[in-house]
Amino acid sequence: MNKFGRLFSLSIFGESHGESVGVTLDGVPAGIPLNEKAFAADLARRKSGKRGTTPRKESDTPHILSGVFRGRTTGAPLTILFYNENTLSGDYANLVAHPRPSHADWVATKKFKGYADYRGGGHFSGRLTLALVAAGVVAKKILKRRHRTLEIGSQLLEIGGCAEPARFPEIIEAALRGRDSVGGLIECRVQGVPVGWGEPFFDSAESVISHLLFSVPAVKGVEFGSGFAAARMKGSEHNDPIVSMDGTTATNNAGGIVGGITNGNEIVVRVAIKPTASISSPQMTLSTETGRPEKLIVKGRHDACIAMRAPVVVEAAVAIALCDLSLIARAQGL
Amino acid sequence: MNKFGRLFSLSIFGESHGESVGVTLDGVPAGIPLNEKAFAADLARRKSGKRGTTPRKESDTPHILSGVFRGRTTGAPLTILFYNENTLSGDYANLVAHPRPSHADWVATKKFKGYADYRGGGHFSGRLTLALVAAGVVAKKILKRRHRTLEIGSQLLEIGGCAEPARFPEIIEAALRGRDSVGGLIECRVQGVPVGWGEPFFDSAESVISHLLFSVPAVKGVEFGSGFAAARMKGSEHNDPIVSMDGTTATNNAGGIVGGITNGNEIVVRVAIKPTASISSPQMTLSTETGRPEKLIVKGRHDACIAMRAPVVVEAAVAIALCDLSLIARAQGL
Amino acid sequence: MNKFGRLFSLSIFGESHGESVGVTLDGVPAGIPLNEKAFAADLARRKSGKRGTTPRKESDTPHILSGVFRGRTTGAPLTILFYNENTLSGDYANLVAHPRPSHADWVATKKFKGYADYRGGGHFSGRLTLALVAAGVVAKKILKRRHRTLEIGSQLLEIGGCAEPARFPEIIEAALRGRDSVGGLIECRVQGVPVGWGEPFFDSAESVISHLLFSVPAVKGVEFGSGFAAARMKGSEHNDPIVSMDGTTATNNAGGIVGGITNGNEIVVRVAIKPTASISSPQMTLSTETGRPEKLIVKGRHDACIAMRAPVVVEAAVAIALCDLSLIARAQGL
Amino acid sequence: MNKFGRLFSLSIFGESHGESVGVTLDGVPAGIPLNEKAFAADLARRKSGKRGTTPRKESDTPHILSGVFRGRTTGAPLTILFYNENTLSGDYANLVAHPRPSHADWVATKKFKGYADYRGGGHFSGRLTLALVAAGVVAKKILKRRHRTLEIGSQLLEIGGCAEPARFPEIIEAALRGRDSVGGLIECRVQGVPVGWGEPFFDSAESVISHLLFSVPAVKGVEFGSGFAAARMKGSEHNDPIVSMDGTTATNNAGGIVGGITNGNEIVVRVAIKPTASISSPQMTLSTETGRPEKLIVKGRHDACIAMRAPVVVEAAVAIALCDLSLIARAQGL
């Protein structure tokens, strides 16, 4: 469904090789200073260009179509549009009959009965995360307005199983040489979130955050605090005793969320990103025309490690989810 | 928020030591045979009684309050109620001023300004999963009605880090001896799901499933298919080539979901369950009366390994999420 | 759909002649004093007993199943249940094959494929408004807590086309004599609503209020302020000039809502209630068994003027809608 | 809230004198032929130009930004954008301190804390109905695809209290001479709707339709079938006996909806449109700068009878609401 959020909500639209990608935000408070420049820093973090990312170059210039007047948000829906510029649709013609392994080509064809825009993944392209990043910029502004100490950051913990950032370039080079791709692990941390965000029973803070994170292409796992390691721990190890009246705990295995509700400690969430499905070494697929296996060489321009561009996307998703929860909490006088 | 689902939706209510726990289901198709006995098998799977589970005994008898007439669902909202019987509220009086580490006591007090029902965790108790299990029974009936080959199952893969079921009793005994608890890992698999369930952009199948799973108390992580291992894999390893016209893939690293949409292969999802927060060995906590650390011994009746009772809860959550997606897909002629 | 409201939301369930009718409220702030007695006054206003209302007698005793602890709301979902007592299902057996004109019998059978609970209208019965009235009591408490000057009231303006309350008994007697029923007109007014409730574009205050009002059985029309008379007015007559800095207008043709947003003046909404469909004089209907017209005499116990019992229902609907809008406005710092 | 609909949903954005007005539709089935020309007829019906409508001229050219590929809908979100061309912002500067009676100027300023785009009513302008009309075109295409006999139409029944179309020009001239405006009454009828659309309890067909109708600026009342006249009728007059096995009734006081569910008869809904608030004769208002009453002469370009342009808007609103209900019904196998 093209809608997320109860009070701060967004709908996104667009295709990789169509005219544009965009997002409409609803519930943006009036009076927040905003112009196109505000998006530059986060958009730059998402951009390709570094070794290991796609050679497709896009200016990614945001156009604010509505919701801003005289440099401030008006309270009305805020639409941000990005025109697609560097589209080479010819690259994708072959993929209609030869669905790329682990890409959305085949399910999109089936679900949309042959009418999906298949060029560059169409609506399923990672390019749609541009809209999420733009929404994240606004979400962070809203969050920081009432919660001045709130800080959110994200980083690439691992790529290809390696947790030493100094060795990342080496791993990328190996992937490029092998015409292959690698996955990665991203962590997002948020300080300064007050106690009380999250709505039982179904809108636990983890539920809302994971909902948005799993809408990001390539995400295969989400964990909070101790995460999967918790399954291997004892209660005596895992429990986080409260040590001060503001709720600070001695350890933070909870990742800042207990009973689905933020507890005032740092929120810690980790996200597993699968290796880019598009690789240029030969793969087997099925010809949907002949019904027989065929060798496929995916042309086009791809990321060897999409996880490199994803930390800002993860951060945006977490910020959007928290922003919605923060407004609901405000309605409760929190 | 006390509501999940767009077409098949549920709202749950109740407290651990209040009068009852219940659930109202909306969007249940008319004409499905249903009576109280239909819930017995799944409720039994959730029940305590085995070594390592709480000695609290509840008959867990479902009462259908509405939505069934002459043994069949009517299409109107279906409410199922469970009276609480074996409540010992005295056990919990001490916990108001001494919040249990990693339990919802403290956040509930803060969020609800001192008015939360604190007895046995109140609305945050694992007892609320009774309502989920009941809803899951109905969800599975709805799913199987149109998709006769659909099979859903879940199992405990690990407890306390051990993946050998034969050794589980030994791990439980050790936890009991140590007045401690252990976490666990649960896997749910679903066969027979057709291609096309899941709604881009925000209601990917993973988003909807994880949303519900993370509303289950004690869940710290959710992963699909290869999950976190994907972060350490290469594209050439991870990609699942399609090998037949029905979409069957040679491998299933995707866990049956690509681009947020089911691809006809088995859905595989794993859930990390933290060790029960309530342990009877002494722990430190903060006295919210004095502001000073104090030693806490949690009395009451607890599970040494809540994960043992959770497979049916995980299965219910997955079934509920899929049921909603299936009805949306049906509206699309799928 | 069995759900209304974004922050203050309700789901209702039950049937006229089933076990019970109930409602679950979500988003109720914690700490509001509440017990079963709080419902008595409004439930009494809805009760039958007066001349012209059904002889069916129900104690209408509310049972609070969840969400209240030690006499105050907890912030968790609040469920209120009413058992049905005085059900005479035999009265309705004949109606399966002989749908009552202008009653839901026939559409319910079609929509729910023959499985609807047809006894006394089942889920379509006016008895479901019991749940709305109970929810309205809570909504009014929430509203008055932050808006102490807010007052809401409703009255029967007309029955059977007569606007003189002194003559209402005479109209009722005539209807009873004629084994007939009469419609009525109800007005609800709310003072003390602050400026700014209502959410453009789709959740105008009128949209949200009318949505709930039209879910009440027998409502055929809803108008605000000048309402349908506005269609016959000139702008120079209709416009309401602001005369003081708090937004007070000289006239109130707007009915307290401009541009979909409350303007601080009295909210005025009128609701047309059709005559009760169940009348005991002979009517023609179609036998769904033979496909031929047949004479029908509706037995059972009915209201000659359901509008007499409806003012408190209309008031509840308006209060519920405003309560949801008030919480959204609060999230906006209003 | 900038979102309407459960399965066929829309979000709209834009301002009267901003860059553009647009709409994003979600849930559009794949494969429907669509291009910019498809909107021409309905947009022309909404256009100004006739005597009595604003001299503001806009080309109202739709731009499809997403969701269409090779002339057919793709199943992905469909965004349609209209650039504003003929904006004269200078006309409105005076209105900030002198809110127009019965216009949204004052509430918008209060709700959005002085940051609303006040030019030409900003987001509250009737220009936003352009987006509704565009959405209505798509809704009608979706409806007719599965329901080939479905026909929807709307007409102006009255303006200024006159029900004789031959005299409408005369009434317009009188309004223009008096620098005044007049209201109107619009009726929308839909044939060919099958039995069973509408979802109890809260999403009755009337609830969903009225919700959307009351989001249209200037609507003050909505009634179905007999509407307000029902309040003055007897049951024996009002009841609609079924006369054939397809549910056809001898009369149609129900307006095609019983118990909130369509009954297969013609849907009949009437909408009261207030006279345009902007009139050019002098009016009193309050100076929000001095707090004193002042005479206001509204400049700018206005409609003497906005109801003349509204039938297609009403029709669009009804079509959008029915489209959503039709998809929900389809999920139920109806």
Nearest by CB to residue A65, choosing from D20, D66, D75, is D20
Q: Is residue C211 over pLDDT 90? A: yes
Residue A56 phi, psi dihedral angles, 5° rounding: -65, 125
Q: Which residue from C258, C236, C225 is spatially nearest to D181, judged by alpha carbons?
A: C236
pLDDT class of B93 with cuts at 50, 70, 90: low
Whether A4 is covered by a domain: the verdict is: no
Written as one letter, the residue type at B165 is: P
Q: State the nearest Cα–Cα gap between A49 and chain D, in angstroms.
A: 26
Q: Is residue A247 over pLDDT 90? A: yes
Search chain A and give the residue with CA nearest B126.
A259
The first and second tokens of residue B66, run together, are 């509405």
Whether A1 is covered by a domain: the verdict is: no
Interchain CB distance below 8 Å, B259 and A107: yes
The first and second tokens of residue D44, run together, are 């022309």
The helix, strand and coil proportions of chain C, stated in percent and rounded to the nearest 5, come to 35, 25, 45
- Residue A57: domain span: 9-331
Interchain CB distance below 8 Å, C258 and D104: yes
Q: State the nearest Cα–Cα gap between C70 and chain D, in angstroms.
A: 32
User: What does the alpha-carbon distance between residue D210 and residue D225 come to, in Å, rounded to a whole number?
Assistant: 13
Whether C275 is covered by a domain: the verdict is: yes
Q: State the nearest Cα–Cα gap between C174 and chain D, in angstroms.
A: 11
User: What does the alpha-carbon distance between residue A102 and residue B259 come to, in Å, rounded to a whole number?
Assistant: 8
Search chain C and give the residue with CA nearest A76.
C200
Search chain A and give the residue with CA nearest B245.
A291
Q: State the nearest Cα–Cα gap between B201 and chain D, in angstroms.
A: 9
In chain A, residues with a C-beta closer than 8 Å to the C-beta of C76 are 200
Q: Is the ipTM of this complex over 0.95?
A: yes
3-state SS, one letter per residue, for chain C: CCCECCCCEEEEEECCCCCEEEEEEECCCCCCECCHHHHHHHHHHHCCCCCCCCCCCCCCCCEEEECEECCEECCCCEEEEEECCCCCHHHHHHHCCCCCCCCCHHHHHHHCCCCCCCHHHHHHCHHHHHHHHHHHHHHHHHHHHHCCCCEEEEEEEEECCECCHHHHHHHHHHHHHCCCCECEEEEEEEECCCCCCCECCCECHHHHHHHHHCCCCCEEEEEECCHHHHHHCEHHHHCCCECCCCCCECCCCCCCEECCEECCCCEEEEEEECCCCCCCCCEEEECCCCCCEEEECCCCCCCCCHHHHCHHHHHHHHHHHHHHHHHHHHHCCC
Residue B222's SS3 state is strand
pLDDT in tens, D60-76: 999 999 999 999 999 99
User: What does the alpha-carbon distance between residue A191 and residue C104 come to, in Å, rounded to a whole number?
Assistant: 55
Q: Is residue D33 over pLDDT 70? A: yes
Choose the weakest-confidence range: A109-123, C240-254, D93-107: D93-107
User: What does the alpha-carbon distance between residue D258 and residue D244 come to, in Å, rounded to a whole number?
Assistant: 16
For all residues of chain C together, what is the average pLDDT?
94
Nearest by CB to residue B331, choosing from D7, D77, D200, is D7
Interface partners of chain B (CB pairs < 8 Å, 3 or more) are A, C, D
Q: Which residue from D10, D145, D146, D6 is spatially nearest to D72, judged by alpha carbons?
A: D145
Q: Is residue A50 over pLDDT 80? A: no
Choose the weakest-confidence range: B27-31, C224-228, D99-103, D252-256: D99-103
How many residues does the structure list for chain A?
334
Q: According to the model, what pLDDT value does residue D87 have?
A: 74
pLDDT in tens, B309-329: 999 999 999 999 999 999 999
Could you tell me if residue C5 is left (phi over 0), alpha (psi between -120 and 50 degrees) or otherwise beta?
left
Q: Is residue C263 over pLDDT 70? A: yes
Whether C3 is covered by a domain: the verdict is: no
User: What does the alpha-carbon distance between residue A215 and residue D274 come to, in Å, rounded to a whole number?
Assistant: 44
Interchain CB distance below 8 Å, B19 and C65: yes
pLDDT in tens, D225-248: 999 999 999 999 999 999 999 999
- Region B275-295: mean pLDDT is 91
C311-331 and A311-331 helices cross at what angle (nearest 10)? 130
Whether D2 is covered by a domain: the verdict is: no
Nearest by CB to residue C65, choosing from B13, B26, B112, is B13
In chain B, residues with a C-beta closer than 8 Å to the C-beta of A283 are 236, 239, 241
In chain A, residues with a C-beta closer than 8 Å to the C-beta of B208 are 211
Q: Is residue C91 over pLDDT 70? A: no
Nearest by CB to residue C195, choosing from D107, D196, D276, is D107
Written as one letter, the residue type at B38 is: A
Q: State the nearest Cα–Cα gap between A59 and chain B, in angstroms.
A: 23
Choose the weakest-confidence range: A93-107, A174-188, B3-17, C265-279: A93-107
**Structural domain count, chain D:** 1
Interchain CB distance below 8 Å, A76 and C200: yes
In chain A, residues with a C-beta closer than 8 Å to the C-beta of D20 are 65-66
Q: Is residue A308 over pLDDT 80? A: yes
Q: According to the model, what pLDDT value does residue A159 have?
A: 97
Residue B176's SS3 state is helix
In chain D, residues with a C-beta closer than 8 Å to the C-beta of B29 are 332-333
Nearest by CB to residue C226, choosing from D228, D238, D274, is D274
Interchain CB distance below 8 Å, D330 and B327: no
Bridge-based pairing of strands D63-66 and D78-83 is: antiparallel
Q: Which residues of C touch A (CB under 8 A)?
A: 6-7, 29, 76-77, 200-201, 327-328, 330-333
Query: Within 10 A of B243 (CB to CB), how many other CB atoms are there?
Result: 15
Interchain CB distance below 8 Å, D74 and A123: yes
Q: According to the model, what pLDDT value does residue D51 have?
A: 81
Interchain CB distance below 8 Å, A31 and D113: yes
pLDDT class of D91 with cuts at 50, 70, 90: low
DSSP B29-98: PTT-B--GGGGHHHHHHH---STTS-S-------EEEESEETTEE-SS-EEEEEE-----GGGGGGGTTS
Interchain CB distance below 8 Å, B328 and D29: no
Search chain B and give the residue with CA nearest A302.
B235
**Considering the entire predicted model, what is its pTM?**
0.98
Q: State the nearest Cα–Cα gap between A319 and chain D, in angstroms.
A: 20
Q: Is residue B296 over pLDDT 80? A: yes
Q: According to the model, what pLDDT value does residue B91 have?
A: 62
- Region D271-283: mean pLDDT is 94
Interchain CB distance below 8 Å, D112 and A12: no
Estimate to the nearest angstrom the gap between the alpha carbon of D213 and the chain centroid. 6
The first and second tokens of residue D61, run together, are 């050219």
Q: According to the model, what pLDDT value does residue B196 have?
A: 98
pLDDT in tens, B186-243: 999 999 999 999 999 999 999 999 999 999 999 999 999 999 999 999 999 999 999 9
Q: State the nearest Cα–Cα gap between B142 and chain D, in angstroms.
A: 11
In chain C, residues with a C-beta closer than 8 Å to the C-beta of A327 are 331
Interchain CB distance below 8 Å, D331 and B328: yes
In chain D, residues with a C-beta closer than 8 Å to the C-beta of B7 are 6-7, 328, 331
User: What does the alpha-carbon distance between residue B318 and residue B324 come to, in Å, rounded to a whole number?
Assistant: 10
Hey, of B103, B274, B280, which one would you mutate to test binding to chain A, going by the most A CBs within 10 A of its CB?
B274
Q: Is residue D93 over pLDDT 90? A: no
Contacts across the A-B interface (CB distance below 8 Å): 353
Q: According to the model, what pLDDT value does residue D58 have?
A: 83
Q: Is residue A48 over pLDDT 90? A: no
Contact D277, C239 (CB under 8 A): yes
CATH number for the domain spanning D118: value is 3.60.150.10
pLDDT class of C93 with cuts at 50, 70, 90: low
Interchain CB distance below 8 Å, D228 and C233: no
Search chain D and give the residue with CA nearest C261.
D107
User: What does the alpha-carbon distance between residue B241 and residue B238 come to, in Å, rounded to a whole number?
Assistant: 10
Q: Which residues lie across from C188 on neighbouring strands?
A: C154, C269
In chain D, residues with a C-beta closer than 8 Å to the C-beta of C219 are 206
Q: According to the model, what pLDDT value does residue C96 have?
A: 75
Interchain CB distance below 8 Å, A69 and D111: no
Q: Which residues lie across from A25 on neighbouring strands?
A: A10, A78
Q: According to the model, what pLDDT value does residue A90 have?
A: 67
- pLDDT over 90, % of chain D: 86
The first and second tokens of residue A128, run together, are 């749609």
Interchain CB distance below 8 Å, C15 and B69: yes
In chain A, residues with a C-beta closer than 8 Å to the C-beta of C331 are 7, 327-328, 330-331
D54 versus A280: the higher-pLDDT residue is: A280
The first and second tokens of residue D171, run together, are 């009434």
Name the residue with tokens 């945001």: A62
pLDDT class of D84 with cuts at 50, 70, 90: very high
pLDDT class of B127 with cuts at 50, 70, 90: very high
Interchain CB distance below 8 Å, B231 and A180: no
Interface partners of chain A (CB pairs < 8 Å, 3 or more) are B, C, D
Whether C94 is covered by a domain: the verdict is: yes
For all residues of chain A together, what is the average pLDDT?
94
Search chain B and give the residue with CA nearest A129.
B201
Contacts across the B-C interface (CB distance below 8 Å): 158
Q: According to the model, what pLDDT value does residue A299 have?
A: 77
Q: According to the model, what pLDDT value does residue B90 have?
A: 67
Q: Is residue A4 over pLDDT 80? A: yes
Q: According to the model, what pLDDT value does residue B308 have?
A: 95
Q: Is residue C94 over pLDDT 80? A: no
